[in-house]
Structure 1
Amino acid sequence: MDNFFFKKRAQSVLVLSLLIVISYGSILITEFDVIKGLNSIPNAIIWGVTNFYPTRESLEKLPSILAKLQETILISIAAASVASVFAIVFAIFGSKTTKVNGILSTISRGIATLFRNIDVAAWAMILLFSFGQSSLTGYFALFFVSFGFLTRAFMETIDEIGVQAVEALTSTGANYTSVIIHSVIPSSIPQILSWVLFMIETNIRSATLVGILTGTGIGFSFDLFYKSLNYNAASLVVLTIIGIILTIEFISNYVRRVIL
């Protein structure tokens, strides 16, 4: 027992020492002034309190901000919803429980891994070359990331069902389509809906960054106000984003409690 705790302590010391060395090396390479950085924190807080808040003039821009916010929400919901339809098909082919054959399963898993591991900002920059700065660029960026994430999540959900339910129906003479429709999907649908709701929340958060890159939605409004030094209007955009994220999360959590 003493030897076990000694090894754990040694590992903790080793990891901590490694983090310190990496941090110190990064400071030297970037020539970051730690003292100056710490001293700037109070000034940053004072600037934020005195400049980053809505005013009466910025509230006049609220209708246009809400219109952009609505566009962002609709794009996020559409991307997650359509992606979930494609994702469930690829998840069925890729799942160990419902796979048709090993080759198709490997292809489905590979596609899901590729789309999931490319960041939404990278997708937005890639798609800018094809579609330019438009809502379609933002939609496809969110769609591809949603598709990759949901395919992987749906695969794990289907695998959790286990082969027993599938084998039970198969033994009665049910074909592949009947097994999927009458066993796999009904058993997975609550968790699948939960993942879709989670993806919508994530998309709304990501859509702000995507909007800055693609010049659309609420992200573009923030970028426009911030670059024009209209910090009061920019703060109003931030507050509306926070408000809608909290609202969507509350609704999502309520729906999850009902269906799960």
Structure 2
Amino acid sequence: MQANIFAKRRRDSLVFFSLLIVLTVGSVLITQYDVVKGFTSSIKAIAWGLSNFYPTPESFKKLPDMLIKLRETVLMSIAATNIAAIFALFMALSGSRTTRINSAFSIISRGIASLFRNIPLVAWAMVLMLAFSQSPLTGYLALFCGSFGFLTRAFMETIDEVGSNAVEALQATGAGYFHIVFQAVLPSSMPQMISWLLYMIETNIRDATLVGMLTGTGIGFSFELYYTGLNYHAASLVVLLIVITVLVIESLSNWIRRVIL
């Protein structure tokens, strides 16, 4: 019996990797991608980066201005994520199978969440830029829309995973909708929701750099100015600041997760 199971697993693995190889080779042939040139270009790019893309004492003179832009980016990301989480929570409660008011609200909520989640953040930034031009508000709204869709979906799945025993017990005692939500659903799902919120904050701080390049705000716009101005040393310092910030935020998020989970 076990021999048949192992043989089936080996056969399935062989089929999977064969399909993967066929798809890879087919993609290379269709796109006419030069694999050898790609590897050699990567080596040349690394060599260029090591010789040109690094901070210098002169670039550190621009550090105060960079820190101001970095603070703007971080605060905008946190604000957009937290406000989006509030709206996402209400939308998730109306869309979850555990807490939905009726099936119509659930379908509408899930449809809205899917719509917002499947539109890329860059697309949100470009569409909103047509209405609000290049401004911090455009970057904020782009991050808000992307966060809203993702968190609504994540919160729905978290609520759906809550055990129905506590909900059914409260319903049997005649508890109302809000008592069930605040006494059974939210206490059980809140730790996982906070984990999703922290993950979204980390993601938005990284994505805010790209959004800033499009909307002309924050640290992303500073990077674009330095890079297009051929000031590669200052641009590399911007990248270094972003990496350090993301690592600090990630460490802080992991610490909070260990405390609440």
Query: Above 0.5 in TM-score?
Result: yes
Determine helix, strand or coil for the equivalent of 1:229: coil
Aligned to 1:110: 111
- Give the aligned residue type for 1:248: I
| CA-CA distance at 1:119 after TM superposition | 1.3
How far off is 1:109 after superposition? 1.0
Which residue does 2:99 correspond to in 1?
98
Corresponding residue for residue 234 of structure 1: 235
Q: Distance in 1 between matches of 2:41 and 2:198?
A: 40
CA positional deviation for 1:196: 1.1
- Which piece of structure 1 moves more, 174-183 or 104-113? 174-183
Deviation per CA, 1:21-54: give whole Å up to 9, x if none.
3333333343333223322333222211111110
Percent of aligned positions that are identical: 61
Q: TM-score scaled to structure 1, two decimals?
A: 0.93
- 5+ unaligned residues in a row in structure 1: which ranges? none
Report the counterpart of residue 125 of structure 1 in structure 2.
126
1:195-237 deviations in Å (ceiling 9; x for gaps): 1111111110111111111111111111111111111111101
Q: In the TM superposition, what whole-angstrom CA distance separates every residue of 1:99-150 from its partner, at most 9, and x where no partner exists?
A: 1111111111111111111111111112111111111111111111111111
CA shift, 1:11, in A, is 3.9
1:71 match: 72
Are residues 2 and 41 of structure 1, via their aligned partners in 2, closer, same or farther at CA, if it must alter by over 3 Å? same
The farther-off stretch of 59-68 and 164-173 is: 164-173
**Partner of residue 199, structure 1:** 200
Q: RMSD over aligned Cα, in angstroms?
A: 1.8
- Between stretches 130-139 and 16-25, larger displacement belongs to 16-25
Aligned in 2, Cα 1:35/1:177: closer, same or farther, shift over 3 Å?
closer
**Runs of 5+ unmatched residues, structure 2:** none
Letter in structure 2 aligned against 1:47: W
For 1:78 and 1:225, locate their aligned partners in 2 and report how far apart those are by CA, in whole Å: 27
- Is the 8 Å Cα contact of residues 97 and 162 (structure 1) preserved in structure 2? no
Deviation larger for 234-243 or 38-47: 38-47
Distance 1:173 1:19, change over 3 A: closer
1:47 equivalenced with 2:68 (yes/no): no
Note the 1:1-260 alignment, pairs <5 A: 4-260=5-261
Deviation at 1:7, TM superposition (A): 4.6
